Structure 1
Amino acid sequence: MSKMIFYPNTELGIDLKLITKEPGRMAVGEYLDGAITHDGEDHFTFVQNDQEKKLQKVVQRNPHVYEGTYINVNRKKDGTLYPTFNRPQFSEHFTFQDFCQGAADELRIISGKSDDR
């Protein structure tokens, strides 16, 4: 029998209640901003944020100019770029060394695309 591998925070076979601003079903690929609560055995509730209020008070700092598998690149207000590492999910098949090699490869690829050379 094969061993099934899931992401660390995967919940299988749950009941999910959605509380949204608009009635009806979500479109495939649609994103909602909000909070999810584990409120019972195998039961979760998602409550959508009020987008108008959020858009008025949220100011994105240092937006991503590149989102990769191993790293992201952000741009500061002064225009300079800086990389950040994504959080890896290590396993016996994906080690710290694998992550470092992948990040190095990704940095090499995107370093040639920078407009701030």
Structure 2
Amino acid sequence: MKQTIIITDCPEQQGWQKNRELCMDVTTYLRSDSRMKAGKSYQGVLRRDVTCDEMHYNEQMVFIETSNQKRMKRNPRIFEGEHITITRRDDGSYHPNFRPIHLGPDFNVDHYATEVANELLWGLEGLVDNA
């Protein structure tokens, strides 16, 4: 799951260290655009290169955009019901998962168990038919 980080007006409150690097050249290696566009976010790696020769001290930033490849979902859903889902693991085995149970004044244990059993039956029938 991709995590989005939101930086507020006071990043110090979230543990961020705010710095401003002045007068630096940034070399960009982009996959999506030929030049960086204003306001667009890029996913990648920012690296600080430091070289020192006899004449002067060079400091340069290099940004390399990482590829935004679509990854196959790790455990794809084979069956999706109201109460359970069945996923396929990387090793080919199947795993039933319960969805959250909402207990309320109208909750009936017998009715819930019957519906779960029916969904398991339908999901497994679909797997046997496809095999």
Q: TM-score, normalised by structure 2?
A: 0.41
